[in-house]
Amino acid sequence: MRTRVKVCGITHHEDALAALNAGANALGFIFSQSPRQVSPDEARSIIERLPPFTQVVGVFVNEPREWVQNIICYCGLAAIQLQGDETNEYCQAFDVPVIKSFHLESTLALDRINDYQVSAYLLDTQVEGISGGSGKPFDWALLKNKTFVRPVIVAGGLHTGNVSHLIQHCFPTAIDVCSGVSRSARRKDPVRLQTFFDAVADADRLRVQVPAESGQEDILKASFDRQPLVEIQGRRFLLNALTEQIPATPAELLREAARRVCYAAQFPPGTKLVGEEDKGGGLLAAVSLLSGLPYGIARWYPSGLEGQVQVDFDCEYTGGSLFLNGVEPGDNVYIVDDLISTGGTLVGLVCAVRKAGADVSGILCVVEKRNYGGARRVFEATGISVQSLIEVDVSGEHSVVVGVNY
């Protein structure tokens, strides 16, 4: 599903065209007190020169109904957005679609939203004395497991660096952007507009969907349950499509694994991902694409390039050295891997990240072999708990899924 985008705070015709050319679905004109306020005459002059079928939204804060209705007619507004303390009764007075804004600071503010019989809900940041345009995001975790009876538009501090995270974890119907694509209080930046819409498009193509509803097949769990265990030269392999490519990894399985990782980890904006290039490399790249976050990778051979960090490690299958690229001092790192058995590779990754001067905020693996004690080893060696999505017992001839943590 494509995320719709409204660009708010339009004050110039050139900015309106730049927003539409970048991909905007709607333009917002602010008629109440704001640094981006426009007069009805200014708005009408811009709107009259826009391409046909452009969706134009007027933004108002606690204004008299008659005045709002007059501007709707005078400017040809397609919808209105009410940012103040307007009641549900007030919202029913208009013949055009109404977007009602709510300013969030806790889950308590969400409880009354569904009482409003409007076309859509806009969720924004609660800032004392400001009715909108704060330039600050609210805590998106407030939206987790919440159900709304109308489409949801999310606003507040959106920009190229965080919009992908929002789309993939909160699944808004639409988003409202203003300061994140501006070069000053009253002017938009064409370059910022384009990069913002590129980020939205990328997130939509690879967005994390809400996990499958009850009754649907869990292809991730199924790929590790009742799978053959084969011992070769003293190494015990869990044959499966995701980590061993036996059979070849289906695209939908890799996508589902990456979705589950993103959904479980809830990566904060600014995180850098780290993993190793062997079995976990494909998963790491998929998670990076879905989350919009950059990643550094630990290779099994040195490149000699400046900044590469070397650490020794041992794991179930091999041992030696890891050579980490892409991590800088001060980075906030989240380690992602496909499978944990003895935990040796993860201990090495944590040591490499710390040696590079960065911090590890979490570790997440898709699968944990319960019989090897790897998670305990990692915690004892690093002080970091390993989160796993699926736990399997590998003591018999076939694997058995004994835990699903999502």
- The residue among 245, 160, 243, 254 whose CA lies nearest residue 206 is 254
Give the least confident one: 9-23, 185-199, 225-239, 353-367: 225-239
378 sits in which H/E element: helix 374-382
Distances from the Cα of 67 to the Cαs of 36, 61, 88, 119, 146, in angstroms?
19, 12, 18, 21, 35
Active site residue: 8, 75, 262, 315, which one?
A: 8
| Whether residue 202 lies in the annotated active site | no
CB 298 within 8 A of CB 352: yes
Whether the predicted pLDDT of 213 surpasses 70 = no
Residue indicated by tokens 């040809």: 76
- Read off the pLDDT of residues 85-144 as tens digits, 9 standing for 90 and up: 999 999 999 999 999 999 887 555 677 898 899 999 999 987 665 666 667 888 888 887
The segment(s) of the chain belonging to CATH 3.40.50.2020 are: 219-404
Whether the predicted pLDDT of 225 surpasses 60 = yes
Is the whole model's pTM more than 0.75, yes or no? no
The segment(s) of the chain belonging to CATH 3.20.20.70 are: 4-205
- Read off the pLDDT of residues 255-297 as tens digits, 9 standing for 90 and up: 899 988 987 887 776 789 999 887 888 999 999 887 778 898 8
Joined together, the tokens standing for residue 196 give: 């913002």
Band (210; pLDDT cuts 50, 70, 90): very low
Helix intervals (H) in 56-189: 65-75, 88-91, 163-170
- The residue among 4, 8, 20 whose CA lies nearest residue 120 is 4
- The residue among 197, 152, 249, 170 whose CA lies nearest residue 18 is 197
Query: 19-37: string of b/e by CB count within 10 Å (b at 16+)?
Result: bbebbbbbbbbbbbebebb
Neighbours of 111 (CB within 10 A): 10
What CATH number was assigned to the domain covering residues 4-205? 3.20.20.70
Share of the chain above pLDDT 90, in %: 58
Strand 319-324, strand 295-299: pairing: antiparallel
What gap in Å lies between CA 166 and CA 405, rounded to an integer?
23
Helix intervals (H) in 231-311: 251-265, 281-291
| Whether residue 73 lies in the annotated active site | no
What gap in Å lies between CA 346 and CA 339, rounded to an integer?
10
Whether the predicted pLDDT of 341 surpasses 60 = yes
- Read off the pLDDT of residues 15-66 as tens digits, 9 standing for 90 and up: 999 999 999 999 999 999 999 999 999 999 999 999 999 999 999 999 999 9
Q: Name the phi and psi angles at 217, rounded to 5.
A: -65, 135
Distances from the Cα of 284 to the Cαs of 181, 239, 247, in angstroms?
30, 20, 20
Domain spanning 219-404: CATH 3.40.50.2020: yes
* 388 φ/ψ sector (left φ>0, alpha ψ -120 to 50, else beta): beta
Distances from the Cα of 245 to the Cαs of 239, 241, 251, 284, 399, in angstroms?
8, 4, 12, 15, 16
Strand order in the sheet with 271-276: 309-314, 319-324, 295-299, 271-276, 332-340, 359-369, 386-393, 400-404
Residue indicated by tokens 């995001």: 137
pLDDT at 216: 66
pLDDT at 139: 86
Neighbours of 81 (CB within 10 A): 28
Active site residue: 124, 176, 331, 337, which one?
A: 124
Band (5; pLDDT cuts 50, 70, 90): very high
Q: Name the phi and psi angles at 391, rounded to 5.
A: -115, 130
Give the least confident one: 179-188, 227-236, 345-354: 227-236
